[in-house]
């Protein structure tokens, strides 16, 4: 399942009354009674299930608790803890497979997906995903710190490498070899 707010067609800033109203409207639209003896009945049933999951997720999030793999409060649930252990142990393929089985793409899900990208060396992808997790849960210190460390590491590299190209003062031997090869190509004297 994607973003639960998009599924219900409400903004993240919507009031509880607006969310309930949107939920009731969607349930009426996809209720199984409307699709009896209709080939679209199975699709409507799947959509209704997705609507119910989205509504439950939003309501639990607003009450400060989350069901399923997300644990209670701000603590990750057991599935996420297992994925974190896999990432820490370098079992990135297994971590990605477990992550892909979780349907709701919460901030924790996106953060862990970003951490897998980071461990693979895909820094731009990691930065984008971790930034998205921070946007979804701006008060999460772990996400903010990870993003800050990632951005600072990139900034340090940019500062140290700027204007240097491939050479530095310690590459005198490489410079001599390049000059030798260039001279050899230009004339037959060597």
Percentage, residues of the chain above pLDDT 70: 72
SS (H, E, C) the chain: CCCHHHHHCCCCCCCHHHHHHHHHHHHHHHCHHHHCCCCCHHHHHHHHHHHHHHHHHHHHHHCCCCCHHHCCCCCCCHHHHHHHHHHHCCCHHHHHHHHHCCCCCCHHHHHHHHHHHHHHCCHHHHHHHHHHHHHHCCCCHHHHHHHHHHHHHHHHHHHHHCCCCCCCCCCHHHHHHHHHHHHHHHCCCC
Residue 169 has pLDDT above 70, yes or no: no
Q: What is the pLDDT of residues 87-116, one digit of tens each?
A: 888 899 999 999 998 888 888 899 999 999
Mean pLDDT of 74-91: 79
How far is Cα 67 from Cα 60, in angstroms, rounded to an integer? 7
User: Would you state the structure tokens that stand for residue 12, as one six-digit string?
Assistant: 């993240």
CB-CB contact of 4 with 58 (8 Å):
yes
Whether the predicted pLDDT of 150 surpasses 80 = yes
Whole-number Å distance between alpha carbons of 148 and 154: 10
Vertex 52 angle, CA 34 and 130, to 5°: 140
Query: Phi/psi at 18 (nearest 5 deg)?
Result: -65, -40
- pLDDT of residue 7 exceeding 80, the answer is yes
Question: What's the whole-number mean pLDDT along residues 154-160?
Answer: 55
Query: What is the band of 182 on the pLDDT scale with cuts at 50, 70, 90?
Result: low
> What is the mean predicted confidence (pLDDT) over 105-130?
91
d(CA 75, CA 42): 36
Q: What is the pTM of this model?
A: 0.47
Work out the number of other CB atoms within 10 angstroms of the CB of residue 168: 9
> Hey, what domains does the chain have and what are their CATH numbers?
4-63 (1.10.287.110), 68-190 (1.25.40.10)
Cβ contact 81:72 at 8 Å: no
- Surface-to-core class of residue 16, CB atoms within 10 Å of its CB (0-12 exposed, 13-18 middle, 19+ buried): exposed
């Amino acid at each position: 399942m994607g973003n639960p707010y998009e599924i219900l067609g409400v903004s993240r800033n919507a009031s509880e009354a607006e969310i309930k109203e949107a939920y009731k409207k969607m349930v009426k639209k996809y209720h199984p009674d409307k699709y009896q003896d209709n080939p679209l009945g199975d699709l409507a049933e799947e959509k209704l299930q997705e609507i119910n999951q989205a509504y439950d997720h939003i309501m639990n999030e607003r009450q400060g608790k989350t069901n399923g793999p997300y644990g209670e409060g701000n603590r990750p649930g057991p599935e996420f803890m297992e994925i974190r252990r896999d990432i820490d142990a370098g079992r990135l393929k297994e971590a990605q497979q477990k992550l892909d089985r979780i349907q709701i793409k919460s901030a924790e899900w996106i953060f862990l997906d970003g951490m897998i990208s980071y461990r693979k060396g895909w820094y731009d992808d990691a930065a984008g995903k971790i930034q998205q997790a921070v946007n979804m849960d701006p008060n999460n210190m772990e996400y903010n710190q990870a993003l800050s460390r990632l951005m600072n590491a990139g900034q340090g590299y940019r500062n140290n490498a700027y204007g240097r190209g491939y050479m530095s003062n310690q590459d005198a031997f490489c410079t001599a070899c390049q000059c030798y090869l260039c001279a050899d190509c230009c004339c037959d004297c060597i």
